Chains A and B, each alone.
Chain A
Amino acid sequence: MKNNIVEKIEKFHKWILFGLVVFAALLRFINIGTNPPSLTWDEVAWGYNAYSLGIDGKDEYGNFLPITFLESFGDYKPPVYAYVSIIPVKIFGLNEFSTRFASAFFGVLTVLLTYFLTKEIFFAKSPNEKEKQRITFISLMATFLLSISPWHTLLSRAAFEANVATFFIVGGVLCFLLSLRKYPYLIVISLLLFVISMYTFNTARIVAPLLVLGFFIIKRKTLWNMKKQVVIGCVVAAIIFLPLLLFLRTPQAQLRFKEVNIFTDASVVERANKEMENDKGAWWSKIIHNRRLGYSVEYLRHYFHHFEPTFLFIKGDENPKFSTQDVGEMFLWEMPFFVLGILVLLKKREGNWWVIPLWVIIGIIPAATARETPHALRIEAIVPTFQILTALGFVSFFIWLFTTNTSLLVKKIITVGMITIIIGSLVYYLHGYYNYYQKEFSHSWQYGYKDAITYATSQEDKFDQIFLTDVLGRPYAYTLFYTRYNPKQFRKNAIIKRDVFGFVHVKSFDKYIFDKQMVNGRNGEKILYIDHINQVPSGGKIQKVFKLVNGEIVLVAYTN
């Protein structure tokens, strides 16, 4: 019975793959404009910068075709996401859908690539019919798992540049493997994709070069036989990488890293000193309480966080932007297959099996240097590996099950039970996502500015100044976004301050003021205030309240 199914899968694999990609697209695009319930400040910045670049090739502050960074809020965003959003923003206009389009689009493409990647990883030189079918089955399963993955669907549904970087990395790995086997010139494309990923997401700036280094070391002999292509690829990659290299050497580029990394945590040193004091300063104490060892253990702690069962299988990332908190980054039922997949991978060592452990180990290295761990976004580059491992475990289990001499009834019960669990988990996740997610977590998505700004623009003519609070963060970006304000105008009339840490503060532009001290009503100007409800002065006349999805009041508009 089972063999028939595997054969059929092989026979119809193109149709199945097509179906899976369509399914993945549905899960990534449906209601993308309204769920997640609103845009975060980063998303708004992506959208508006794409809008601005699409008008005159300059970013919001007027830098012409910036390639190494977008200054944005002073966080120096790698700029690719803005460029890939230019077309969707042109076509669909500046709104939630067009801003998120690129992420969802590349998310779907990543699902498609995963099929070919898996095939390439388990590639066998001269497979018999059965092996071929097995590899197809594993590849389709991995594709299916990625298409429904809570981790990947959620990150594909908002404008996360990480999700686009993941596509480039997956593409880079795939092209690299293909270049070894069949098309040597693909190595040029592979290196190109890796470099582009570095222009897309900060974490990729560490992951991509390490991956390439690992690949070059492991496959040095094969690469030696295609040195011409390798040299061309390296030269092209180096030229494109050069501007980024120059930027990375500047202090601005290093500033943000220093803020979030664990190695500036003084408590490790304080503890080491205390413990040496308790040992009365003995020589051996200086060895065992060496601060480098202390920091190494801290680093491992953050590294291991990404393997916490609660994170992976129960609740997911604590940040509700990356998880519904109802399911983990993966489904609970995937756990046994995931573990089995690791064991099978290491035992069988098929084809390019080594790619997966290398990728996982490297993929977590940058995220573990930060204080907030586990972090689903910063390790997103490893996403297809976990799905491939789970698929391998799943397929191995079922092939084993159907070769044992257990009764057919037991086999059927297990199979039907498994299918029920898979569908049940998916329905559970989607039901929660479409029914509760917006309501329960709209505050995490900085919900409220859209309604407030839409209201403010409708009242614009009645007031001389409009004050907008920054309690939800970066109100200027939202105002630009929702008023579709002309970037040329903005550059002319905005008042902008940059603080010592490099952060950019837009104080005001046009009628809109974001710094309360600058509000000036002495000459009888009419002012509309939009602020937190606690900030309404006695005697303030509330014009309108703006609520979160769950009905809590988040902002109010009032006049004096």
Chain B
Amino acid sequence: MKKVFFFIIGFGFLVAILFRFYSLGNIPNSLDWDEASLGYNAYSILHTGKDEYGNLFPFILRSFNDYKPGLYVYFTIPFIQVFGMTAFAVRLASALMGILAIIGTYFLVRELFRTQNFKEKEKKYGKYLPILAALLLALSPWHIQFSRVAFEANSALTASIFGVVFFLIGRRKPNMLFLSAICFSATLYLYQSAKVFTPLFGLLLIFIFRSDMQLIAKKYMVGACIIFILFVSPLIVYTINNPQSLSRLNAVNSLQKENQFFNRSLLRIEESKASNDILGQLFNNRRIVMARSYIENYLSHFSLNWLFISGDFIPRHQPPFFGHMYLWELPFLLLGVYFLFWGKFTKKTKLLIFGWILIAPLPATPTIDVPHAVRTLTILPIPQILTAIGLLETFLWVQSLNKKIRLATYFLYFTVSIFILINVAYYANQYFVQQNYYHAKYWQYGFKEAIDYLDTIKKNNKIIFSESAVKEQAYIFYLFYSRYNPKKYLASGGSEKIFQQCFSVENVLFGSCQEKLADGDIYIVYGTRDGINSLHEIKHIVFPNNDPAISIYEYRK
């Protein structure tokens, strides 16, 4: 039995590593703008100590005015130093964080289910559940998706998993509460959504485990709180001094795009006023309409199609024609909910898991593009834990069956295994093969190829990135792929200029700079041609599916 156990652990590790590191720099086949921005800022901080705007060791990156939480950049710096400015180096930190999350899940489940007092089963739960949950996370399409790209949300997830783990261990070893406080405060420096999730989740933890907290010496609790406040205060001070850093919140607010929603209720209110209909005025009140819209957003995350079949509207969040979980997991997930709800687990475990599920969609609730897999990433590894419970209960039930129908159970195992195998193989194929074909466009494929090409031709003339390319933040790709010297870049004013109509980095121009076109200049268009005469195509870059990506022209009169 022990051998089998180690085999499973070994297998899990192999899967985790294979799925997270295989061809990391090439799949997805391009960095998107946020990844490129994180990469260049890391490079800039590495060489100058400052970000692209000249801020010294920033913990918030202004980037494209979206004020990204900046901690991830610091994780990336050593890898940029070692591996250079490559997609692999930018993404490596996230992949490693992914591995850590799997380990964290193991300990999380062990802590959550170690105190269950139900005799025989208890041992099996304690023994198999942690490894099973960790294995499922290692295989999880949702987790793999964001472990393989430099999306800060993935690191925030790892930090918050460890935050819970240390918190739970902290009930026995109070010192650990300090570590928990550090992990939770780190999430706020890693991803925007954490600003909603972490405080609520912290309160949930304290509420559920209030009786345990009363048992340990006060100084630990107070100490942990002080650490948390100490770590978080710079962020609060920064936000107060730079209110524009909250602009991201407005940019993604779902009500911005719901005007037609309000229009309808405004019409109704006018009518109600005319006919003295008080109920009508009440029911079409803006607050009720807003609440309805938010509830709809929130509930959209409990869609089976979103989870298992179609995924997000944004193609970067899943491989083509795939959801966030395997279809084979669905029955076990549902069984898991059933068994957790009714099973003889402690009330605290139940409350924590169900509370976690209810809090996780909140950061995405007021935003556009819901359901949203990144803003709700912190729900992991709960679906995996539930699926693991469902799997384990099914396994124990089959084992308890009459020996006479053993053959039937072997047949059952065989069929289920085949189904799982096909499902996982399909996922792997969608991710590692089909994704680059179908989704290259959404990963902003083409800039690397274009900039590499520019290196091979003469550089005396101006190079102009047209507006279509600037919309894709061409400048950051240019800085990243040409490894533009950050000292030089900052000396010429840094990124303050990028909000101008036409700006330049040495002889490379960005934006609506057509009037500056001179004979022999290079003109670069993203997607289809802008419609300027006298352009002669010298290079045509296509997506893997042969749709046009970038065209490079020479201007000749």
Binding site for B on A (CB under 8 A): 271, 275, 278-279, 284-285, 287-289, 293, 297, 300-301, 304-305, 307-310, 313-315, 332, 335, 343, 346-347, 427-428, 431-432, 435-436, 440
Would you give 20 A-B contacts (Cβ < 8 Å), ordered by A?
A279-B433, A284-B425, A287-B422, A287-B425, A289-B426, A293-B426, A297-B309, A300-B309, A304-B303, A304-B305, A304-B309, A308-B304, A309-B302, A309-B303, A310-B296, A313-B299, A314-B292, A332-B295, A343-B341, A428-B283
Contact of B448 with A by CB under 8 A = no
A300 touches B327 (CB 8 A): yes
Distance, CA A347 to CA B343, complexed state (A)? 10
A288 touches B295 (CB 8 A): no
Q: Which residues of B contact A435 (CB under 8 A)?
A: 268, 272, 277, 280
A308 touches B305 (CB 8 A): yes
Q: Which residues of B contact A347 (CB under 8 A)?
A: 338, 342
Q: Which residues of A contact B434 (CB under 8 A)?
A: 275, 278
Residue in B283, B295, B303, B341 whose beta carbon sits within 8 Å of that of A308 in the complex: B303
Distance, CA A65 to CA B295, complexed state (A)? 52
Binding site for A on B (CB under 8 A): 264, 268, 272, 277, 279-280, 283, 292, 295-296, 299-300, 302-305, 308-310, 321, 327, 337-338, 341-342, 422, 425-426, 429, 433-434, 437
Distance, CA A436 to CA B277, complexed state (A)? 12
Q: Which residues of B contact A284 (CB under 8 A)?
A: 425
Instruction: Give, as a whole number of angstroms, the nearest-CB distance from A287 to chain B.
Output: 7
A343 touches B304 (CB 8 A): no
Instruction: Give, as a whole number of angstroms, the nearest-CB distance from A103 to chain B.
Output: 28
Instruction: Give, as a whole number of angstroms, the nearest-CB distance from B422 to chain A.
Output: 6
Q: Which chain B residue shows the least CB distance to A268?
A: B321
B327 touches A297 (CB 8 A): yes
B429 touches A285 (CB 8 A): yes
B341 touches A278 (CB 8 A): no
Distance, CA A365 to CA B341, complexed state (A)? 29
A301 touches B425 (CB 8 A): no
Known: A293-B422, A440-B264; 13 extra A-B contacts, CB below 8 A, are: A275-B433, A300-B309, A301-B309, A304-B304, A305-B305, A308-B304, A313-B299, A314-B292, A347-B342, A427-B279, A428-B283, A431-B279, A435-B272
Distance, CA A308 to CA B299, complexed state (A)? 9
Distance, CA A289 to CA B434, complexed state (A)? 11
B300 touches A279 (CB 8 A): no
Distance, CA A89 to CA B412, complexed state (A)? 58
Distance, CA A293 to CA B310, complexed state (A)? 15
Distance, CA A293 to CA B304, complexed state (A)? 18
Residue in B299, B321, B337 whose beta carbon sits within 8 Å of that of A314 in the complex: B299
Q: Which chain A residue shows the least CB distance to B303?
A: A308
Q: Which residues of A contact B429 (CB under 8 A)?
A: 275, 279, 285, 288-289
B310 touches A432 (CB 8 A): no
Q: Which chain B residue shows the least CB distance to A294?
A: B321
Distance, CA A430 to CA B54, complexed state (A)? 60
Q: Which chain A residue shows the least CB distance to B305?
A: A304
Q: Which residues of A contact B264 (CB under 8 A)?
A: 440
A314 touches B295 (CB 8 A): yes
Q: Which residues of A contact B304 (CB under 8 A)?
A: 304, 307-308
Q: Which residues of B contact A314 (CB under 8 A)?
A: 292, 295-296, 299
Distance, CA A372 to CA B510, complexed state (A)? 46
Q: Which residues of A contact B272 (CB under 8 A)?
A: 435
B302 touches A431 (CB 8 A): no
Instruction: Give, as a whole number of angstroms, the nearest-CB distance from B423 to chain A.
Output: 9
Distance, CA A432 to CA B434, complexed state (A)? 48
Q: Which chain B residue shows the least CB distance to A287?
A: B422
Which 6 residue pairs of A and B lie closest in terms of their CB atoms, listed nearest first?
A: A309-B299, A304-B304, A288-B426, A314-B296, A304-B305, A301-B309
Q: Which residues of B contact A297 (CB under 8 A)?
A: 309, 327
Q: Which residues of B contact A440 (CB under 8 A)?
A: 264
A278-B433, A284-B425 in contact; A315/B341 too (CB < 8 A)?
A: no
Q: Which residues of B contact A431 (CB under 8 A)?
A: 279-280, 283
B327 touches A343 (CB 8 A): no
Q: Which residues of B contact A293 (CB under 8 A)?
A: 422, 426
A271-B321, A347-B342 in contact; A301/B305 too (CB < 8 A)?
A: yes
Most B CB atoms within 10 A — which of A271, A275, A285?
Answer: A275
Distance, CA A309 to CA B361, complexed state (A)? 14
Distance, CA A295 to CA B426, complexed state (A)? 14
Distance, CA A418 to CA B138, complexed state (A)? 43
Most B CB atoms within 10 A — which of A271, A285, A297?
Answer: A297
Q: Which chain A residue shows the least CB distance to B341?
A: A343
Instruction: Give, as a whole number of angstroms, the nearest-CB distance from A411 to chain B.
Output: 20
Distance, CA A436 to CA B292, complexed state (A)? 18
Instruction: Give, as a whole number of angstroms, the nearest-CB distance from B429 to chain A.
Output: 6
Instruction: Give, as a whole number of angstroms, the nearest-CB distance from A419 to chain B.
Output: 18
Q: Which residues of A contact B268 (CB under 8 A)?
A: 435-436
A278 touches B309 (CB 8 A): no
Q: Which chain A residue shows the least CB distance to B302?
A: A309
Q: Which residues of B contact A304 (CB under 8 A)?
A: 303-305, 308-309
Q: Which residues of A contact B342 (CB under 8 A)?
A: 343, 347
Q: Which chain A residue shows the least CB distance to B307?
A: A304
Q: Which residues of B contact A308 (CB under 8 A)?
A: 303-305
Distance, CA A343 to CA B305, complexed state (A)? 21
Instruction: Give, as a whole number of angstroms, the nearest-CB distance from B304 to chain A.
Output: 4
Q: Which residues of A contact B309 (CB under 8 A)?
A: 297, 300-301, 304
Instruction: Give, as a whole number of angstroms, the nearest-CB distance from B494 to chain A.
Output: 42
Instruction: Give, as a whole number of angstroms, the nearest-CB distance from B479 to chain A.
Output: 33
Distance, CA A432 to CA B268, complexed state (A)? 10
Instruction: Give, as a whole number of angstroms, the nearest-CB distance from A172 to chain B.
Output: 29
Instruction: Give, as a whole number of angstroms, the nearest-CB distance from B223 to chain A.
Output: 35
Q: Which residues of B contact A343 (CB under 8 A)?
A: 337-338, 341-342
Distance, CA A275 to CA B277, complexed state (A)? 59
Distance, CA A343 to CA B425, complexed state (A)? 33
Q: Which chain A residue shows the least CB distance to B296?
A: A314
Distance, CA A164 to CA B148, complexed state (A)? 54
Distance, CA A347 to CA B338, complexed state (A)? 8
Q: Which residues of A contact B296 (CB under 8 A)?
A: 309-310, 314-315
Distance, CA A313 to CA B292, complexed state (A)? 10
Distance, CA A216 to CA B52, complexed state (A)? 73
Distance, CA A265 to CA B211, complexed state (A)? 59
Distance, CA A2 to CA B85, complexed state (A)? 70
Distance, CA A435 to CA B337, complexed state (A)? 42
Distance, CA A431 to CA B300, complexed state (A)? 26
Distance, CA A309 to CA B365, complexed state (A)? 14
Distance, CA A279 to CA B433, complexed state (A)? 7
Q: Which chain A residue shows the least CB distance to B301?
A: A309
A288 touches B283 (CB 8 A): no
Distance, CA A275 to CA B322, complexed state (A)? 13
Instruction: Give, as a whole number of angstroms, the nearest-CB distance from A128 to chain B.
Output: 23
B300 touches A310 (CB 8 A): yes
Distance, CA A216 to CA B546, complexed state (A)? 57
Q: Which residues of B contact A432 (CB under 8 A)?
A: 283
Instruction: Give, as a whole number of angstroms, the nearest-CB distance from B358 to chain A.
Output: 11
Q: Which chain A residue shows the least CB distance to B426?
A: A288
Residue in B283, B310, B426, B437 whose beta carbon sits within 8 Å of that of A278 in the complex: B437
Instruction: Give, as a whole number of angstroms, the nearest-CB distance from A117 to chain B.
Output: 25
Distance, CA A332 to CA B277, complexed state (A)? 24
Instruction: Give, as a whole number of angstroms, the nearest-CB distance from B399 to chain A.
Output: 21
A347-B342, A435-B277 in contact; A310/B426 too (CB < 8 A)?
A: no
Distance, CA A314 to CA B291, complexed state (A)? 11
Most B CB atoms within 10 A — which of A279, A304, A313?
Answer: A304
Most A CB atoms within 10 A — which of B283, B341, B434?
Answer: B283
Q: Which residues of B contact A313 (CB under 8 A)?
A: 299
Distance, CA A308 to CA B341, complexed state (A)? 22
Distance, CA A428 to CA B434, complexed state (A)? 48
Q: Which residues of A contact B425 (CB under 8 A)?
A: 284, 287-288
